[in-house]
Amino acid sequence: MQTVQAADTNEVDKLIFRESDNDRKVVLELEKKLFKYANQDVFRENNGTSLLEFDKELSVFKDRLHELEITFPPSYPYSEDSSQGKQYMPTRCPAWCDRILMSATARDLVLKPENEERSIVYDNIGPNVCMGDHKPVFLSFRIAAGAGKWSQKGEKICREAPL
């Protein structure tokens, strides 16, 4: 790793990571508004799911918020050039910024096994099309008529916040 410091303040301005072999080719450059990774395919191989181990933001809420398994590539930051719908911009580290989180009650309704025909899809929209810097995500599922909890007054409700 090479550290580049600002001449006037001596603060770190840039970090450059090189391969230890392969002629010490630059693999990653980091600086303000720059995340330039030499091989963006790592974010697409197996939809980038090997990188989910580094996705820790939701761990603080693990007992209150739930998410279905992510099987789509990071949803941000995509190029806004209409000819590069699958290309990430080199401004930030690709990440799963777009998510669908739900309460335990909502998750139980989505995953309820009573409907044999159920088909759950949690994915992104427009994987090959430029849609701005984010790829929106969606959750599609079937739910049995009448599913949910009954209130004291006999009204059908979900006790916690809806999806």
Q: For residue 150, give both structure tokens.
A: 């009954």
Number of domains in the chain: 2
4 and 71 share a domain? no
Query: If you average pLDDT over every residue of the chain, what do you get?
Result: 82
Q: Give, in order, the Cα–Cα distances in Å from 156 to each of 75, 79, 148, 163.
A: 35, 44, 7, 16
**Rounded average pLDDT over 151-155:** 55
**Rounded average pLDDT over 43-63:** 87
pLDDT for the residue 124: 93
105 and 139 share a domain? yes
User: Per-residue pLDDT tens for 17-51?
Assistant: 888 877 777 788 888 888 888 888 888 888 888 88
User: Per-residue pLDDT tens for 131-143?
Assistant: 889 999 999 988 7
| Angstrom distance (rounded) from CA 78 to CA 90 | 9
Phi and psi dihedrals of 57, rounded to 5?
A: -55, -35
31 and 8 share a domain? yes
Question: Domain residues for 117?
Answer: 46-90+97-157
151, part of any domain? yes
pLDDT band at 146 (very low <50, low <70, confident <90, very high): confident
Cβ proximity of 81 and 88 under 8 Å: no
pLDDT for the residue 116: 55
**Rounded average pLDDT over 69-81:** 92
Q: Give, in order, the Cα–Cα distances in Å from 106 to each of 74, 80, 154.
A: 24, 34, 19
pLDDT band at 161 (very low <50, low <70, confident <90, very high): very low
34 and 106 share a domain? no
**35 Cβ neighbours under 8 A, 6+ residues apart:** 28, 29, 90, 91, 92, 93
pLDDT for the residue 70: 93
